[in-house]
Structure 1
Amino acid sequence: MALQYVEAQRQARPDLADSYADLADLYQRKLWHQLTLKLDHFLQLPAAQTSDTIIHLYSNFISDFETKINLLKLAHFAVIASRQYPDKDAAISFLEGVIAKLRETRERRINEPILYVKMQIAAINLEKGDQKECKKLLGEGKSTLDSMTDVDPTVHASFYWISSQYHKARQEFAEFYKNALLYLAYTTVESLSESFKLDLAFDLSLAALLGDNIYNFGELLAHPIINSLIGTKVEWVYHMLQSFNTGNLALYQELCRVHNSALSAQPALVQNERKLLEKINILCLMEIIFSRPSEDRTIPLSVIAERTNLSISDVEYLLMKSLSRIWNINDFFPLQVHLIEGIIDEVDSTVHVSWVQPRVLGIPQVKALRERLDAWVGKVHTTLLSVEAETPDLVAA
């Protein structure tokens, strides 16, 4: 049956004739590993992506030996086939059938392939608009994932990708940002198409700007995917990230002026204009603190007011927000880690900062840190020479 199907397709599809011939040869020789590799290549061919080619290949060929190959690879093939179903309910039924067959095998490690297939079902439910079912499957998937060890990266990537898309659909920017970065941790950027990288880089950038409690842009700016924005019509968002990362209020305002039409086309940015201004002012404050030597962390409020274009009272509010923690009254754990520690002196109109939340630093910030370390080393060396010069007198005494 399987060989007859392949032979019929070889005759019917001259563009894929050589590939079908290779599949038939490996099948006859029962070289299951080599056949798996050949199938993996075949399913990526543009000619195989048309119509229902993969659906029929799975039903008439792969299903004949599905328990003889790596089950996680089988799950990959099933997921690819499911994407060709025009009807989403039919796709879910197909995948549920695959899960049932996986459970019938005697293999011990079936959790990985089952979880991988379930995440595709969650994705289809999300496409249908059934967020409740998607959330349920994600919750079950998270529990399964946490109970497993030595998990294949593709399974992790699948879970975090679907989770990111769920939070994107709900406009939960911070959760999307976290899950999308975790997805990238289990995915090689080189394996992604240029259009996919551009879309993801743009979505990540917006999420970083709009996400609650995201004040560290260094991790995103250091990731190679962000370079996808450079040289495109949305390069402005890359420069906006840079302005936030360095707390450069003047650059941010200039970008808003120059790219006003592009910004207006993003409703989320327009609706959160005040929130964005507050965030960059906080980052401006953190940059002011970072740029000062550790022994000079008592800062006049007027200095902060000048850099942020705020009144003294607004600066005090900004400081209180940066100093504060938001607590969950149900479990007594902070929902927001404070950004700085210190004391506001309203009499002298200053703030003394004793601690700043660590951040991933960009190249200019690392250079500034190096200069300060060099200056510190110079001071230590001068002190050492002074002590050595005074030592004979101390010994004589």
Structure 2
Amino acid sequence: MQGVIDSIQHNRNQELWYNLGSDLVSFCNEKHMIGQSMPLVEVYNTFVREIVENLYPLHVAIMIDAIVREDSSAASIVADLKQQPFTSKNAILSQSMSLIEARISVKNGAVPDDDELAAQFGDVATETAVIDMLLQHLYIEISMARRDHTALVDRMIAYDSARGLAGVTLAPSQEAAFAVTLITAALVADRILTFDDVVAVECIKNPAAVDAAQAWMPAMLAAIHAGNVPEVAQMTQQHGQQLTALSAADPVGLVLRKAKISALLALVFSRDSQHWTFSFEEIAAVIAGTEREAEDVALAALSHGLLRGRIQATTASVEVTWLKPRPLTLDQTRALKDKLQAWFGQVVAANEMVVTAKDRAGQMTALFEE
């Protein structure tokens, strides 16, 4: 272990320091398995404590984050570091330890309210990716404790982005747990994923980390965002009990409503923007519902900011002026390609008309000058 630490002590690769934190935990586990009980705190004190003061502060933060992630009993290490004079003199290290300590408290049941959070961490400088990662991780724990699935999705996406900027890679088991938690939250959150969400998080695009027993979750999530109402309805019948176990609310009704909103978005996308007026009857057909339900779905899409426009009660229709970018199926991507090609052809034709008109105007001017 000492050799590992010596070899990377002067290395600024942040991923190595995160891995070192995990290695310390693994080292303790191995000692325990062969009957040589060696508590994590003892390992830390033996191999790391003396050199911490001379390490790059962000490396210390990353290493301690990895230790605490895998072994919450490491709270005493955080407390020890907070008391060190060099910690109080370094804003990054001090903020890091405060964020990690707060996360441990939340996991132990002490969930702060919003005012307490603002008072303690409202001025945290998130320009540093590692600090932002730790802050988002704290909010993830808070969202999980509050069972706020919508906030959890937002925070996990923000965390994943900050983690990428910080250069930290999770272990395969942690990556799998992250994917399952995010996809589960995305299923039962009162929120529809946007194009930016899907681009930002790899496990949504390619949920390979999810095992076979949970494969129905990313499949259902994909069906929801494709607006495939019949498939989602069928899957809720097959997995209704599992789905209900994910949330105390009405997750079956929620996923069906989200699928119907996505079906409306797909309908809008399928039309040229010059023809973005849709009757409730048309909407009812694609969502497999009534005209009253079609109006409710249109209102929901507008209230979530997925569409802009207005409801026309007199004509029982909705006029759409804007559609938020969203994940596209292969067929929708091909349709978009066809639209862009047609639009490009119109631009070229319009340009040629302008050039021709300009040439003719020049010729007429020359005639008059003669």
TM-score normalised per structure 1: 0.73
Write the distance in 1 (CA, Å) between the matches of 2:211 and 2:237.
20
Write the distance in 2 (CA, Å) between the matches of 1:38 and 1:381.
55
Would you say the 8 A contact 1:78–1:98 is kept in 2?
Answer: no
Indicate the residue corresponding to 2:310 in structure 1. Answer: 342
Matches within 5 A, 1:202-351: 202-212=180-190, 214-222=191-199, 223-226=201-204, 227-229=207-209, 232-268=212-248, 271-324=250-303, 337=305, 339-347=307-315, 349-351=316-318
Structure 2: which 5+ runs fail to align?
A: 365-370
Matches within 5 A, 1:11-26: 19-20=1-2, 22=3
- Larger CA deviation: 167-176 vs 49-58: 49-58
The RMSD of aligned alpha carbons is: 4.0
Write the distance in 2 (CA, Å) between the matches of 1:354 and 1:82.
49
Write the distance in 1 (CA, Å) between the matches of 2:152 and 2:188.
11
Deviation string for 1:313-335 (max 9, x for gaps)? Answer: 222233233334xxxxxxxxxxx
For 1:158, the aligned partner's letter is L
> How far apart are 1:121 and its partner, in Å?
1.3
Matched, 1:140 2:124: no
Indicate the residue corresponding to 2:137 in structure 1. Answer: 161
Would you say the 8 A contact 1:123–1:134 is kept in 2?
Answer: no
Write the distance in 2 (CA, Å) between the matches of 1:38 and 1:389.
65
For 1:315, the aligned partner's letter is A
User: Relative to 1, partners in 2 of residues 1:185 and 1:79: Cα closer, same or farther, differing over 3 Å?
Assistant: closer
> How far apart are 1:195 and its partner, in Å?
2.7
Q: Over alpha carbons, which structure has the higher Rg?
A: 1
Indicate the residue corresponding to 1:70 in structure 2. Answer: 56
Write the distance in 2 (CA, Å) between the matches of 1:126 and 1:365.
43
For 1:300, the aligned partner's letter is S
How many residues align? The count is 350
User: Relative to 1, partners in 2 of residues 1:58 and 1:43: Cα closer, same or farther, differing over 3 Å?
Assistant: same
User: Relative to 1, partners in 2 of residues 1:340 and 1:393: Cα closer, same or farther, differing over 3 Å?
Assistant: same
Task: Find the partner of 1:116 among 96, 100, 123.
Answer: 96
> How far apart are 1:252 and its partner, in Å?
1.1
Indicate the residue corresponding to 1:374 in structure 2. Answer: 341
Would you say the 8 A contact 1:218–1:245 is kept in 2?
Answer: no
Would you say the 8 A contact 2:264–2:283 is kept in 1?
Answer: yes
Deviation string for 1:333-359 (max 9, x for gaps)? Answer: xxx546321342534x33322222333
Structure 1: which 5+ runs fail to align?
A: 1-18, 325-335
User: Relative to 1, partners in 2 of residues 1:52 and 1:80: Cα closer, same or farther, differing over 3 Å?
Assistant: farther
> How far apart are 1:145 and its partner, in Å?
2.4
For 1:216, the aligned partner's letter is L
User: Relative to 1, partners in 2 of residues 1:371 and 1:230: Cα closer, same or farther, differing over 3 Å?
Assistant: farther
For 2:202, the aligned partner's letter is P
Indicate the residue corresponding to 1:96 in structure 2. Answer: 79
For 1:69, the aligned partner's letter is L
For 1:95, the aligned partner's letter is V
Write the distance in 1 (CA, Å) between the matches of 2:319 and 2:21.
64
Indicate the residue corresponding to 2:86 in structure 1. Answer: 105
> How far apart are 1:52 and its partner, in Å?
3.5
Indicate the residue corresponding to 1:191 in structure 2. Answer: 169
Matched, 1:59 2:35: no
Indicate the residue corresponding to 1:352 in structure 2. Answer: 319
Would you say the 8 A contact 1:32–1:68 is kept in 2?
Answer: no
User: Relative to 1, partners in 2 of residues 1:52 and 1:157: Cα closer, same or farther, differing over 3 Å?
Assistant: farther
> How far apart are 1:140 and its partner, in Å?
2.0
Would you say the 8 A contact 2:309–2:318 is kept in 1?
Answer: no
Would you say the 8 A contact 2:195–2:325 is kept in 1?
Answer: no
Deviation string for 1:119-171 (max 9, x for gaps)? Answer: 2211221221111389846752342225xx4x2x3332222112112101111
Higher RCO (C-alpha under 8 Å, 6+ residues apart): 2
Write the distance in 2 (CA, Å) between the matches of 1:132 and 1:23.
38
Write the distance in 2 (CA, Å) between the matches of 1:203 and 1:42.
23
